[in-house]
Amino acid sequence: MKSSIIKIGFLTCFILLGLSYKEVSAEMSWPAKCTSFGVIKLNQNPSPQHINCLLTNAALAAKLPPEVVKAVAAQESDWRQFTSDRKPFISADKGIGIMQITNQASYDSKKLKEDITYNIQAGVEILNRMYLRSDLPKIKGIGPDVIESWYFPVMAYNGTKPVNSPLYQSTGKKNTNAYQERVFVRVQKDSFLGGTYLGQFPFKTADFNYDPNSDKNMVFKKLEYTITTQMHISTHLLHKGNKVSVTMDNLVLRSKPSSLSASLKTFPKGTTLIIDGDFVYDQTLNKVNRFVWYRVKTTDQKLAGYVSSAYIMKRLNAPIVSPVDDNDLSLSGKTAGNARIQIMNGTKLIGSTVSNSIGNFKAAITRQKAGTQLTVVYKDRLNALSPSTRMVVIDKTPPKVPSVNKVTNKTLTVTGKTEKYATVTVKIGTKKYTKKANASGNFNVKIPKQKAGKKLYVYAKDVKGNVSAPRTVSVSK
């Protein structure tokens, strides 16, 4: 970490939050969450899983995605506070400890060297201050709970120098050597395995103004981006009862939170599992993995075990959709808040809208034929695609008024035509005579002889229960 803090702007942000650097550093209750790993020994690196616990809880206490904090620590020091000969880990550019704190007069340099929790806390606070900078770009509509929103704060943690430009100015190609790019590769490699990829910014060279031959900071010409690929929140925020989807084929369900434990079953990609408790760390303390483990159970409740957080994602619920009939010109329902809904008839888009903050929506559609199957899906604020809801358009259109052939005072069968398979009723006074039409819609209903001038009322009820208006027929002589 090489950046120097421009103290005025950041200090103002912290004063607005009612905090000072020293107050924040003093409020360190999160290390107590890792006491089960034992006491941290003087001048010794804790076990990898103890460090996993420290970094995770420091991030959660500050409301940062742990994946980001752990990746920064991995990039800076490979999770080392001390060297193998028990000396503080200090880099060539004077970075100190696990978070490689540099040029920070607000922190006690002795404690930065000797106290891993103090060093981690300092790194988390600096990342937070980078996020509060008003001169760094943001993602439109996205807050700090989203991992991708930390792209520019991570850059600034190292420095907004030309060397960290997301694109090479001369070619427009992606700068994979930029500090933040290397950190986010670590996020993906350590925390999102199994084919999960982080959302990508639509960068252009015009977004950044800098002299590639100078060491002056970049000027950001574009301060807001819209990302159209899927973004991600931390998998450390899952809770008991949450449904998750498996993100890789042949995911192993383990008997214990360790890849060394027995395999209970394997699951294909897309399997739904249910979180059955808070996350835990790897049972093998010296395991260098940087994810956590969750106890899960199958949806039929018959099997439970442990899976890595790196191979699961929170599952969206399918949209809840109200019934729609062949007279409706709108479709309503409920999804996630501020979701983008699409209503499809096969491959044809017939309606779209955005749900409100609590997920309610109503979309205009064209009138659909009874029996048509519609598919409703949505994308949430992170561009994650929901499971689909399929529904059939209900028949609410009554049959046309039946056509009836001439009825005389000698007629014993009323004939005519209506909707296929409709039940035709001939009402004479208080009495009713019924018969079902055939596949062509032809009907014949037996009645007793009627006197000339008698009025008959003939109507049809289709197979969905819709009733037509009656046809009035006068008996002729």
Q: What share of the chain in percent tops pLDDT 70?
A: 95
Note whether 78 and 290 are within 8 A (CB): no
Instruction: Give the SS3 label for residue 379.
Output: strand
Mean pLDDT for 121-140 is: 97
pLDDT at residue number 24: 44
Would you state the structure tokens that stand for residue 314, as one six-digit string?
A: 């929170």
Q: Give me the amino acid identity at 104.
A: Q
Alpha carbons 117 and 205: distance in angstroms, whole number: 39
- Classify burial at 301, counting beta carbons within 10 Å of its beta carbon; exposed 0-12, middle 13-18, buried 19 or more: exposed
Mean pLDDT of the chain: 93
pLDDT at 16 over 60: no
pLDDT at 14 over 60: no
Alpha carbons 424 and 354: distance in angstroms, whole number: 45
β-pair type (413-417, 403-404): antiparallel
Phi, psi for residue 262 in degrees, rounded to 5? -65, 145
- Residue 386: Cβ within 10 Å count: 19
CATH of domain 7-225: 1.10.530
pLDDT at residue number 3: 59
β-sheet bridge partners, residue 209 = 219
193 falls in which pLDDT band (50, 70, 90)?
Answer: confident
Right CATH number for 238-314 from 1.10.10.10, 3.40.800.10, 2.30.30.40, 3.30.450.60?
2.30.30.40
17 falls in which pLDDT band (50, 70, 90)?
Answer: very low
pLDDT at residue number 2: 60
Note whether 309 and 191 are within 8 A (CB): yes
Half-sphere exposure of 191 (CA within 13 A, CB side): 24
6 falls in which pLDDT band (50, 70, 90)?
Answer: very low
Alpha carbons 264 and 289: distance in angstroms, whole number: 21
pLDDT at residue number 327: 95
Half-sphere exposure of 457 (CA within 13 A, CB side): 9
pLDDT at 82 over 70: yes
pLDDT at residue number 27: 65
Q: Structural domain boundaries of the chain? A: 7-225, 238-314, 320-392, 403-474
pLDDT at 472 over 60: yes
Note whether 475 and 453 are within 8 A (CB): yes
* Nearest in space to 52 (alpha carbons), one of 283, 246, 296, 237: 283
pLDDT at 307 over 70: yes
Residues 200-232 pLDDT 10s: 999 999 999 999 889 899 999 999 999 999 999
pTM for this entry: 0.84
Q: Which alpha helices (H) appear in 62-147, and where do they start and end?
A: 66-77, 109-114, 116-131
Alpha carbons 129 and 11: distance in angstroms, whole number: 9
pLDDT at residue number 28: 86
Mean pLDDT for 346-353 is: 97
The CATH class that applies to domain 403-474 reads mainly beta
Residue 25 or 147, more confident: 147
pLDDT at residue number 158: 96
Note whether 474 and 409 are within 8 A (CB): no
β-sheet bridge partners, residue 246 = 312
Mean pLDDT for 243-271 is: 96
What fold does the segment set 320-392 form as a domain? Immunoglobulin-like (2.60.40)
Hunting for tokens 């199958």 — which residue is that?
298
Hunting for tokens 């483990």 — which residue is that?
293
* Nearest in space to 381 (alpha carbons), one of 331, 330, 334, 335: 335
Mean pLDDT for 234-256 is: 96
Half-sphere exposure of 87 (CA within 13 A, CB side): 3
pLDDT at 5 over 60: no
pLDDT at 12 over 50: no
395 falls in which pLDDT band (50, 70, 90)?
Answer: very high
Mean pLDDT for 317-345 is: 96
Answer yes or no: same fold for 7-225 and 403-474: no
pLDDT at 346 over 70: yes
Note whether 415 and 402 are within 8 A (CB): no
